[in-house]
Structure 1
């Protein structure tokens, strides 16, 4: 058993080693490493166990070689070192998504996106036609899916729309337009035909097919519960009507999640909230730990991969109502700068690995009103996104 004095000395040594603001570095043969990339004059949140904050960081061979202050970083800079002056901006670990839908997310970027904007009929049809014209490799059998339409603004503008409006477009392809809340769907005649929906089709149990005035002919407007639409799209594509519908039938042993899960009583989580630190750790350190990759990613520490982002505003300081408006200015993965926002110039000549204006980027911009993530929208347009996107909530709740 160690003497109390030895324990006190050990605790003191640990405290000094990990004290806030202390420098951490990697050296070889007592010689300071010359960094490939240096970031300085910033607010660098490491999110290590003690939430240590630094002003400078050095990267060598894809990993973090130094964390410290302005004085300590100088010896890591040489002629060929790329130097980024953060000018006080916040730098933090790169986000770690432990629950991804990459295929669905990528597919959504390529959909024709009305981006929650209150548009009149003419502009809506112009945008859909533009998306159709962009799909030069699509056949008449390929569906065009249009998302995030402000349907109620459109109805206010027109008094109501039908399949006849979509039928004016120069295409034979079936078209499905989803409202921002995913409760209303607007289709053309081709979509009704390929889905075998006719005037004799009865309303579904969880929705309603609107009819043209004075007849039983389908108008092309489907009012339907959100949980049904994903099954409808799958059914129209000839696929099983529910994702993972055979997950319980095929395996020899049942999935253990339902047995381990807490009982659900419908009350949600009354009185429980997350602090900003807890929230940011959920998508960095904790998700890295969940993936058993916390020895490599999730926090900014010497020896770990240099995965980091630079933010426009300080996440820990902005008002709560502005947190969701955060913007990433730079992304580094494994020591390589892969993204720099268009409007940012660090004045060091560094170019990101992926250009913002390549062929794919330009196509995504064209397919979404206001460009990627609505970057080109007016302040009024951005407020429309915030209002309807929040109301729309999660549309893939039954896929987990």
Structure 2
């Protein structure tokens, strides 16, 4: 069940007894609302950091003894502090490349069809610049830990260079991309090659203040997407097709058996592959968009449990990513089998991806099975969050808003609701609580990454990964949840990001400039007109930029 903060007289907040490590500290936060997201959902007023770890947490009086001559003291003035965000499914390199290029859409490429377009690959210098740009955006978004959801040796080389130069400002986890073997007999070879590649790249060192690069899982695609007209996701029941051109006249739709797709992996090969990987200590994340693909993933976990009943419950991690459509018969299986649903909350808001044709092609009876965050949680398995950026703009608090209201934000240009009706309505299904949503992007993600002993919540002895927010997430009106700003991001006790106003008001200086020369200088600044994803622009400003791009007047001299 969702946790609720405990109240304490005088503060109106949950509270914990002071816990302290001796000696002067490096950094102290006080006079704030520090939401720990520990098991008891405690809230403190003060926190101290020493050597990259949380050394004291409790009330203001508890940190007084830890303030020395060289201690930096930050007066929060009542602001909210929470654990650094953990995004368990994103494509950082791809997103970074997008930050440095213009958008020139001219059609639709389904799934892997983009590989048919023969474009010159970006240079290594451009890819490094893209990684730097992406990390800058992550710092700004409050993301202290990310999982790159489809990676290979290129990511190992690029991020390795940034780590060596001290530019890796978020904890990096990578899922090694694998494809189904051509023949079932090739499973053994696939597993052996994959295990060898992952072990050669993984940093086995203990998680510490400085970000490292962890390679401990694979990524496989079981299907495509449910979105009309692509409909490449594997579903239990057929998609519906328009009858007599009803797609355009709002008429009748009916099931069409010819629309059925099989998952990209056979059940036998998938189960055998995951078995070999799990036995070798390798975890897995699978792209599953349709309910049949979800079922295949759960079946593979069940097969492993049944074949290896002696393996301890937490012996492997299997994350099923997206679950846009899941079947009610499978919701309880996540908890029964110990499988993690990694879901993208921002898709639980009305958008052109659903209205009108995707809703129509699924039929009314399946709409309650879309984005079933609450149903899976109620059946016993907490949700893990993954943005899938850059499929959508990176706006984590808009995503949280969608999770707890099933609606977008008309004032946020990153939300489809900003385009007005019909996207300003309510998405089918039930919302989850604010705390459940916040745990999905913090401690639940840490648990999935096997890092919850070090990150994901705030406690003495854990790493000092945290963010300071402009508004209190728990107290803001529902309509304002998606209008949040991260003022400061701390990773391993290091201030890696602070807004300009936070630098002056809190008296802090980030170690990574908000716009560093290494991140592309003026080139990146031009690409980020109005801020990343144009957050600083009005609707009219966004429209103006779009018109300029359509005319080919691009800062990078790209033309349509």
Q: TM-score, normalised by structure 2?
A: 0.41
528, 531, 535: which one aligns with 1:371 = 531
Specify the alignment match of 1:286 in structure 2.
444
| CA offsets 1:270-314 (integer angstroms, 9 cap, x no match) | 643211100000010101011110000000011000000011111
Give 1:330 shift.
Answer: 0.2
Gaps of 5+ in 1: 1-18, 113-145, 147-176, 179-184, 186-221, 386-400
RMSD (CA atoms): 3.0
**Kept in 2: contact 1:85–1:346 (CA 8 A):** no
User: In structure 1, how many angstroms separate the alpha carbons of the residues matched to 2:506 and 2:482?
Assistant: 30
- For residues 362 and 304 of structure 1, do their structure 2 counterparts lie closer, same or farther at Cα, with a shift above 3 Å needed? farther
Specify the alignment match of 2:270 in structure 1.
255
- For residues 384 and 312 of structure 1, do their structure 2 counterparts lie closer, same or farther at Cα, with a shift above 3 Å needed? farther
Specify the alignment match of 1:237 in structure 2.
118
**Kept in 2: contact 1:33–1:65 (CA 8 A):** no
Q: Secondary structure of 1:280's match?
A: helix
- For residues 104 and 52 of structure 1, do their structure 2 counterparts lie closer, same or farther at Cα, with a shift above 3 Å needed? same
Give 1:81 shift.
Answer: 0.4
User: In structure 1, how many angstroms separate the alpha carbons of the residues matched to 2:469 and 2:37?
Assistant: 15
User: In structure 2, how many angstroms separate the alpha carbons of the residues matched to 1:104 and 1:94?
Assistant: 22
Specify the alignment match of 2:500 in structure 1.
342
Specify the alignment match of 2:17 in structure 1.
23
Flag the structure with higher helix content.
2
Specify the alignment match of 2:62 in structure 1.
72
Q: Secondary structure of 1:96's match?
A: strand
Specify the alignment match of 2:482 in structure 1.
324
- For residues 298 and 264 of structure 1, do their structure 2 counterparts lie closer, same or farther at Cα, with a shift above 3 Å needed? closer
69, 73, 79: which one aligns with 1:83 = 73
Deviates more, 1:321-330 or 1:251-260: 251-260
User: In structure 2, how many angstroms separate the alpha carbons of the residues matched to 1:370 and 1:238?
Assistant: 29
- For residues 303 and 367 of structure 1, do their structure 2 counterparts lie closer, same or farther at Cα, with a shift above 3 Å needed? same
Specify the alignment match of 1:54 in structure 2.
44
**Kept in 1: contact 2:498–2:508 (CA 8 A):** no
> Which one has the largest radius of gyration?
1
Q: TM-score, normalised by structure 1?
A: 0.57
- For residues 329 and 26 of structure 1, do their structure 2 counterparts lie closer, same or farther at Cα, with a shift above 3 Å needed? same
Give 1:337 shift.
Answer: 0.5
- For residues 353 and 247 of structure 1, do their structure 2 counterparts lie closer, same or farther at Cα, with a shift above 3 Å needed? farther
Alignment of 1:118-133 (within 5 A): none
- For residues 373 and 42 of structure 1, do their structure 2 counterparts lie closer, same or farther at Cα, with a shift above 3 Å needed? farther
- For residues 363 and 264 of structure 1, do their structure 2 counterparts lie closer, same or farther at Cα, with a shift above 3 Å needed? same
User: In structure 2, how many angstroms separate the alpha carbons of the residues matched to 1:347 and 1:275?
Assistant: 32
| CA offsets 1:26-62 (integer angstroms, 9 cap, x no match) | 43xxxx3211000011111000011100110000010
Q: Secondary structure of 2:513's match?
A: coil
- For residues 26 and 382 of structure 1, do their structure 2 counterparts lie closer, same or farther at Cα, with a shift above 3 Å needed? farther
User: In structure 1, how many angstroms separate the alpha carbons of the residues matched to 2:451 and 2:510?
Assistant: 25
26, 33, 38: which one aligns with 2:28 = 38
Is residue 354 of structure 1 aligned with residue 289 of structure 2? no
Gaps of 5+ in 2: 1-12, 121-149, 151-176, 189-268, 272-285, 287-292, 300-324, 328-361, 373-427, 546-560
Specify the alignment match of 1:138 in structure 2.
none
**Kept in 1: contact 2:16–2:43 (CA 8 A):** no
| CA offsets 1:108-162 (integer angstroms, 9 cap, x no match) | 22122xxxxxxxxxxxxxxxxxxxxxxxxxxxxxxxxx2xxxxxxxxxxxxxxxx
